[in-house]
């Protein structure tokens, strides 16, 4: 199963109050997410941070929109031996 690294831009959120001169520091976030590639969809990648051994069971899912992606690096195939 393929493991990938995705560098992407996400929205930022704050529920605080700001003066106009403080807004210059409020920007989008640049993120790096690494995980198991579950699906490449038309508009997004679906990846998981954890995999349960050699089973098709996953945890900590991320759907990352392609519109915000800066770079995708395929890190390679990872195979598990049979777990008893």
Q: Residue 84: pLDDT band by 50, 70, 90 thresholds?
A: very low
Indicate if the alpha-carbon torsion angle 67, 69, 74, 75 is positive or negative: negative
Residue whose tokens read 């590639």: 37
Q: What is the CATH number of the domain that holds 65?
A: 2.30.30
- Structural domain including 61 reads 2-11+31-77
pLDDT class for 79, splitting at 50, 70, 90?
confident
Is the CB of residue 73 less than 8 Å from the CB of residue 67? no
Structure tokens at 30: 């640049």
Residue 56 lies in a domain: yes
pLDDT band (50, 70, 90) for residue 39:
very high
Token pair for 12? 């930022």
Please report whether residue 82 resides in a domain: no
How do residues 13-33 score in pLDDT, each as one tens digit?
888 898 998 888 889 999 999
Q: Is residue 35 part of a domain?
A: yes
Q: Confirm whether 60 is domain-assigned.
A: yes
Report if residue 23 sits inside a domain: no
Q: Each residue of 40-62: pLDDT tens digit?
A: 999 999 999 999 877 789 999 99
Q: Could you tell me if residue 46 is inside a domain?
A: yes
User: Per the structure, how many domains does the chain have?
Assistant: 1
């Amino acid at each position: 199963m393929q493991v990938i690294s995705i560098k992407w831009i996400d929205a930022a959120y704050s529920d605080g109050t700001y003066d106009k001169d403080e807004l210059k520091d409020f920007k989008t976030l640049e993120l790096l997410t690494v995980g198991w590639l579950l699906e490449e969809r038309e508009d997004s990648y679906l990846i998981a941070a954890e995999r349960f051994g050699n089973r098709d069971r996953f945890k900590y899912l991320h759907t990352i929109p392609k519109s915000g992606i800066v770079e995708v690096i395929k890190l390679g195939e990872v195979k598990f031996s049979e777990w008893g």
